[in-house]
Chain A
Amino acid sequence: SQQGEEDPQALSIQEGENATMNCSYKTSINNLQWYRQNSGRGLVHLILIRSNEREKHSGRLRVTLDTSKKSSSLLITASRAADTASYFCAAGPNAGGTSYGKLTFGQGTILTVHP
């Protein structure tokens, strides 16, 4: 079964609105990462939050992490048409050993921002 689940599966908003995506995971983590995938392209790393952090900002992105609930959220403020893409969370296991780098991805949220 899949490790990560994202909610909602699809989100449609108008330019200028905020977009919030949620992610849940099942195992203990070292970090939680968010990636964006434009149609027909590879994934691009957006932001990483470590397990000892609760909130992190990067430009228009805000990520929160609640390790007690095994959940994270990604907020994109003042969205633009260019933000239209699929967004994936990825749970990063503790570093070291054979698990290092073994990201477990959620199924993604398809975000559509209408101009």
Chain B
Amino acid sequence: DTAVSQTPKYLVTQMGNDKSIKCEQNLGHDTMYWYKQDSKKFLKIMFSYNNKELIINETVPNRFSPKSPDKAHLNLHINSLELGDSAVYFCASSQASGSPEQYFGPGTRLTVT
């Protein structure tokens, strides 16, 4: 069974469009994250939610809006896409307490043309 899943796996879209990426985890974790990995493989945290509450927001343009309908889901909506948004976006989850290792989804490769 997939622990952390993301859809879609690939997303190709034009500048100015709005798109969403969905993430679900079946690990029973309390905390979920969005990361962005650029073309140089640098991985940077964008957001973190704990029990549906936003706890980390890392100076991300407000065109990016995360939404957590419940603690098993964390979606990322991006408005007015720009060329610089092209990257691989990873969802991850972890327990709020106890062992802090994170479990990552397979990634969504976003290409903005």
A48 touches B41 (CB 8 A): no
B42 touches A100 (CB 8 A): no
**Does B96 belong to the interface (CB within 8 Å)?**
yes
Q: A101-B33, A103-B45 are in contact. Are A43 and B100 (CB under 8 A)?
A: no
Contact with A along B1-43 (1 / 0, CB 8 A): 0001000000000000000000000000001010000001111
Neighbour of A43 across the interface among B45, B50, B90, CB < 8 A: B90
Residues of chain B at interface, number, CB under 8 A: 27
Main secondary structure of the interface of B (DSSP, over half): strand
Residues of chain A at interface, number, CB under 8 A: 27
A101 touches B101 (CB 8 A): no
B41 touches A45 (CB 8 A): no
- Listed by A's residue number, 18 A-B pairs whose Cβ atoms lie within 8 Å are A31-B100, A35-B104, A41-B106, A41-B107, A42-B90, A43-B43, A43-B104, A45-B101, A48-B101, A86-B41, A95-B100, A98-B56, A100-B50, A100-B100, A101-B55, A101-B94, A102-B45, A107-B40
